[in-house]
């Protein structure tokens, strides 16, 4: 699970909720707080 800041200032969530063999979810947000909320939600 990670949240990375992109060069344009947005934040990308990159997670695998079911582990290494599970589905990978990547989503981009404008605010870090929104990215953190999404990471907790998933």
pLDDT of 16 reads: 93
Confidence check: pLDDT of 1 > 80 = no
User: Under a CB-based contact definition with an 8 Å cutoff, are residues 9 and 24 in contact?
Assistant: no
Tell me whether residue 20 is exposed, middle or buried, using C-beta atoms within 10 angstroms of its C-beta: 0 to 12, 13 to 18, 19 or more.
exposed
pLDDT of 20 reads: 87
pLDDT tens profile 5-20: 999 999 999 999 998 8
Of the candidates 21, 7, 17, which has an alpha carbon nearest to the alpha carbon of residue 41? Answer: 17
pTM: 0.84
| Dihedral angle of Cα 27, 32, 35, 39, to the nearest 10 degrees | 130
pLDDT of 12 reads: 98
Confidence check: pLDDT of 29 > 90 = yes
Region 9-32: what's the mean pLDDT?
95
**Stretch (H or E) spanning 3:** strand 2-5
């Amino acid at each position: 699970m990670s949240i990375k800041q992109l060069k344009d200032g947005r934040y990308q969530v990159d997670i695998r909720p079911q582990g290494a063999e599970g589905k990978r979810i990547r989503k981009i947000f404008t605010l870090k707080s929104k990215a953190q909320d999404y990471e907790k939600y998933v």
